[in-house]
């Protein structure tokens, strides 16, 4: 019984989890997260939403083990591929930009191309004079800079490559913020397909993406204010429902 109790209380080596986690940045009176409980289930597609500054990126960094909580316990996602909101843009060839997702994995160019294809990024190669060998920086001879959206796809391909190399969990903080709405939907569909059976933690501001999740967690005021499926949260008529209404009316407005 005691072993069972321990496994319930302590987030172990498995899925990422926060147990009564509080975290604040030095020099700020108000903590960003207050006794947050969030356990990700194996194979779950979890979306985290919240207004700017709600603490979503802070939560991702805790799960990734980059920050230590002031109190509570974090089950860090050691087995995760993480795409941070401020993802890395290496001034290296495209091949290396993807392969750095799992440097020790002896992936071939076919594996690199498969990862790029998984996030709908193969057309990117058309603008690169030396294919996968093209340095992604104009400061190199024959190098090319990428657009924000193209960089984002490269960062996602890097994570897909890491999954192919054996990581089980994918955590993505606004994976598609630089992409237009239609591209985001396409990329996300592919990503869902490609990560079937794996655990996915997704931060997004777009409900077209979020609504597909098994569970949606709404962060507000430093805590999990609401959680449930899309339909459930709409029926609840709270923050999520208001946010959904606002986005729907904005989209209707732009389509007029």
- Binding residues vs ligand ATP (CB under 6 A): 25, 28, 32, 50, 52-58, 85
177 in contact with Mg ion (CB under 5 A):
no
Return the number of the residue (53 or 129) whose C-beta is nearest ligand ATP: 53
57 in contact with Mg ion (CB under 5 A):
yes
256 binds, among Mg ion, ligand ATP, none (CB under 5 to 8 A by kind): none
Return the number of the residue (35 or 96) whose C-beta is nearest ligand ATP: 35
Return the number of the residue (52 or 141) whose C-beta is nearest Mg ion: 52
Least distance (Å) between residue 219 CB and ligand ATP = 7
Positions in 76-95 near Mg ion (CB under 5 A): 85
List phi, psi (to 5°) of 63: -60, -35
Least distance (Å) between residue 68 CB and ligand ATP = 14
Return the number of the residue (16 or 135) whose C-beta is nearest ligand ATP: 16
Question: Cα(59)–Cα(57) distance, rounded to whole angstroms?
Answer: 5
22 in contact with Mg ion (CB under 5 A):
no
55 binds, among ligand ATP, Mg ion, none (CB under 5 to 8 A by kind): ligand ATP
Question: Cα(169)–Cα(16) distance, rounded to whole angstroms?
Answer: 9
Contacts of 151 (CB under 8 A, 6+ apart): 87, 89, 136, 178
Question: Cα(66)–Cα(21) distance, rounded to whole angstroms?
Answer: 14
Instruction: Tell me how many degrees the CA angle 16-120-104 measures, rounded to the nearest 5.
Output: 50
Strands in 33-39's sheet, in edge-to-edge order, are: 33-39, 17-23, 71-75
Straight-line distance from the first to the last Cα atom of the chain, in angstroms, rounded to the nearest whole number: 61
């Amino acid at each position: 019984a005691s072993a069972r109790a321990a496994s319930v209380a302590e987030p172990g080596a498995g899925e990422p989890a926060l147990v009564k986690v509080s975290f604040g940045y030095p020099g700020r009176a108000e903590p960003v997260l207050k006794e947050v409980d969030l356990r990700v289930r194996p194979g779950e597609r979890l979306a985290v939403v919240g207004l700017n500054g709600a603490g979503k990126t802070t939560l991702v960094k805790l799960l990734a083990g980059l920050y230590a909580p002031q109190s509570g316990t974090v089950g860090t996602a050691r087995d995760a591929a993480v795409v941070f909101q401020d993802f890395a843009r290496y001034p290296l060839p495209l091949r290396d930009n993807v392969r750095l997702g799992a440097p020790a994995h002896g992936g071939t160019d076919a594996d690199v191309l498969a990862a790029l294809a998984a996030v709908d990024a193969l057309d990117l190669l058309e603008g690169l004079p030396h294919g996968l060998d093209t340095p992604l920086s104009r400061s190199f001879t024959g190098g090319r800079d990428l657009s924000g959206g193209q960089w984002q796809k490269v960062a996602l391909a890097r994570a897909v490559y890491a999954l192919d190399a054996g990581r089980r969990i994918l955590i993505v903080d606004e994976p598609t913020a630089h992409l237009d709405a239609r591209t985001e939907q396409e990329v996300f569909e592919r990503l869902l397909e490609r990560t079937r059976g794996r655990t996915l933690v997704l931060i997004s501001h777009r409900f077209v993406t979020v609504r597909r999740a098994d569970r949606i967690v709404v962060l507000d005021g430093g805590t999990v204010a609401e959680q449930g499926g899309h339909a459930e949260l709409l029926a609840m008529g709270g923050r999520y429902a208001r946010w959904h209404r606002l986005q729907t009316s904005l989209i209707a407005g732009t389509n007029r």
